[in-house]
Structure 1
Amino acid sequence: MTTASESLTTSHESLLSERAAGIKQSAVRDVFELSLDPSLVSLAGGNPYLQLLPLEKVGEMARRIIVEQGPEALQYGSGLGTPELRAQIIDVMAAEGITNVGVEDVVVTNGSQSAQDMACKVFCNPGDTVLCEDPTYVGALNTFEAYQVSARPVGTDANGLIPDALRARIAELRAAGERIKFLYTIPNFNNPSGITLAAERRQEIVDICREAGILILEDNPYGMLRYEGTPAPTLRSLDPENVIYMGSFSKIFAPGLRIGWAAVPTHLFRRFYLAGEAVALCPPTLNQMIISAYLNEHDWKGQITKYNDLYRSRRDAMLEALAKYLPAG
């Protein structure tokens, strides 16, 4: 006997778009759900250790903002983000050597995942192709699949994307008639491989994409979480006209605030930010104001140093335990 619910499900299936049929539950969300189990010590999710934050201080910032600026903090805001936070984002990017971005090129997003969605909406038609590292972030793959875009992997090694493999992949796919729109890359501490693109390869990767007429979508949530070594230049710093840079406060402050940003080439900026505004209207004003207060009133660079010291010690303990307790190989 068919229930009313089953009957509705069957009748409504015919109303679904082709795009909806391709939307699947995010594996990232599955990992986060599992990590909430207190009996597990999960090494899978990118959850920052928020207990290291000055939580009482952050709480007082939030209380003061609501009490003193509540009508502004709890109101709709600009689709671009608050002017104060956009200006501060310029300083955050400068800490990673990006000095060729103006405030007018920055749009605040609902996490960097939102920026991936905006890029697909602006640049991709169903059946288009995007390039990515092999392996790459599963959350981005979910976004590409939802927009009916083919994600084509490019070969990597211990030094990241292989330039010759990128050239060959572009030639191969174009010979097959595929329309390549952009290269999605996590050059610093790739998720899930952890590999960082070698400094000596970065300019060549940028040059290959520019010459091929392919944009670069640079996702850099982990760039400041470096435990040793010298930072390599970001791709955005090497080519401001062909690279859309995506940053996030999720790893360097708090993921629950869901605030990231995109630095977009000037000639693409208006279309890009309107694509986000059409869905989210505006990023949450209160959350942006909390981040602004944190950046103004707390030693956020020193906080990142604390994170790095803690994470380094945890990594070393994990590697020591793996060597001690796991069998060879």
Structure 2
Amino acid sequence: MRLQVNDIVGRKSYGCDVLFRIIDIRVIEGKQEAVLYGEDLRLIADAPFEDLVPINGEERSVRQKTNEALQEQSYRLFAQDKELLQQKSEYLSSDGYRYSGDYFQIPGRVLHIDGDPSYLKKCLTLYEKIGIPVKGIYCNEKEMPGQIGELLEHYRPDILVITGHDSYSKSKGAIKDLDAYRHSRQFAETVQEARKKVPSLDQLIIFAGACQSHFESLIQAGANFASSPERVNIHALDPVYIVAKISFTSFRDYIHVWDVLRNTLTGEKGLGGIDTKGVLRTGLPYRMSKEE
């Protein structure tokens, strides 16, 4: 089989349930093996060439349309939530709409650190569509713990996203064993380093994890939200929907975990967390500059 880096494939042993992109090819004990990144799921995997099936353009198109329909549904649900959240914030800031002028709103600033530049680009596009101020940084998962302190000092975000690729391997240990996960240890160490800089769970809100990540260790390290409680795969854009809910919820309000998860593409099997305060601030009056 002639497969190359960047080819899109499925795994026969899993019924081709997930589309992967080949990102590296190596030879182990005389046999070719591919390193795979999920196209829409934050999953990394290894597979022998004999288990791989090339996915043709027609099949990719069908799956892409299904995926886009799910994304659009999540976006519509969030857009409805966003409008209600903004109306509530305006009402409270104006003492029951007694003020009839214009308002301005300051959503939470996001620092998104991603181990996959392709996923990071997709996420930044969605942040822009939603209207969230964000700085995106590509960083290899293994380098994140050493980089996070300097990045926090430089960008001073309200919300931190630490994500990339991960996976659990039964052959490496029990499900509770952190060493059985591809990058969960690095994610947890990155959260710990971030908490050394900003200990408060309300001053810096952290989402951490990827597909099948060790949820408990990430929460214990200090994350507000994390993946994956039931070790399932999460969608590439799920961190953005979690962040969006927090970013557009008033700092006066605590967010129940389910309110954050219900508009994600994965839900509570893949995502979880703790009750957390919003970060949106509303002000008045709004004055346009003379140039405008």
Q: What is the TM-score when the length of structure 2 is the normalising length?
A: 0.36
Higher RCO (CA 8 Å, separation ≥ 6 residues): 1
Higher helix share: 1
Higher strand share: 2
